[in-house]
Amino acid sequence: MAGKKVLIVYAHQEPRSFNASLKRVAVHELSQQGCTVTVSDLYAMDFEPRATRKDITGALSNPEFFSYGVEAYEACKKRSLTSDIIDEQKKVQEADLVILQFPLYWFSVPAILKGWMDRVLCQGFAFDIPGFYDSGFLKDKLALLSLTTGSTAEMYTKTGVSGDFRYFLWPLQHGTLHFCGFKVLAPQISFAPEIASEEERKGMVASWAERLKTIWNEEPIPCTPDWYFGQ
């Protein structure tokens, strides 16, 4: 939709990967609609995933005992977080929709993307206490996970060996995105592209592009435990 701003946080090392194809088609489709699309290519940026005292540029509020959460919160209020964090927060702040594009590692995000969440979505910027879940600071924004798996769709069912795919989405969609207030759109899961045929892979990319044509009309999922764990 013209005028909308989209941030794609992209976590894959290989520019010719299937994840890269999904990212490229999203940039193309959303740009065609008149959206402004920004990509944070975390590996290309050599993004720092570790949450350390280097993230605070000013004086520590308690130099005797380092607590990252406390110091990041204070630094956020004083605008003394390090510039790479502030740059990413600005991109998030400006976005109407944030898409996280990544391959599933151990039922979760790759370390570099976990570090992005740890450092960028800090207290004072993304939430406060009180000021989380439905009243999280990013409550006027949409978020969407677009991910690839190694295992097949059959393995990610209630009776499958890995359990329902919604189980691993709980900490990411609910405990992170919704905690910060995001309204979460249904995930885009491309199952087992490495063992799929070329034709099937093309179909996965095409269905993502097709979905993005009407993405602004979608309703968020109901962010309740029942969506994840209900029968």
Partner residues linked to 183 by β-bridges: 142
pLDDT (tens digit, 0 to 9) for every residue of the chain, 231 residues total?
889 999 999 999 999 999 999 999 999 999 999 999 999 999 999 999 999 999 999 999 999 999 999 999 999 999 999 999 999 999 999 999 999 999 999 999 999 999 999 999 999 999 999 999 999 999 999 999 999 999 999 999 999 999 999 999 999 999 999 999 999 999 999 999 999 999 999 999 999 999 999 999 999 999 899 999 996
CB contact at 8 A, 97 and 6: yes
Q: Which residues contact 105 (CB under 8 A, 6 or more apart)?
A: 111
CA dist 208 and 202 (Å) reads 10
pTM above 0.75, yes or no: yes
CA dist 103 and 137 (Å) reads 27
Q: And the tokens for 215? A: 């993405």
To which residue do tokens 């919704």 refer? 178
Which of left, alpha, beta for 57 (phi over 0: left; psi -120 to 50: alpha)?
alpha
CA dist 102 and 89 (Å) reads 19
To which residue do tokens 């962010």 refer? 223
Q: And the tokens for 116? A: 């992005």
CB contact at 8 A, 22 and 53: no
CA dist 125 and 93 (Å) reads 9
CA dist 224 and 172 (Å) reads 13
In this prediction, residue 64 carries a pLDDT of 97
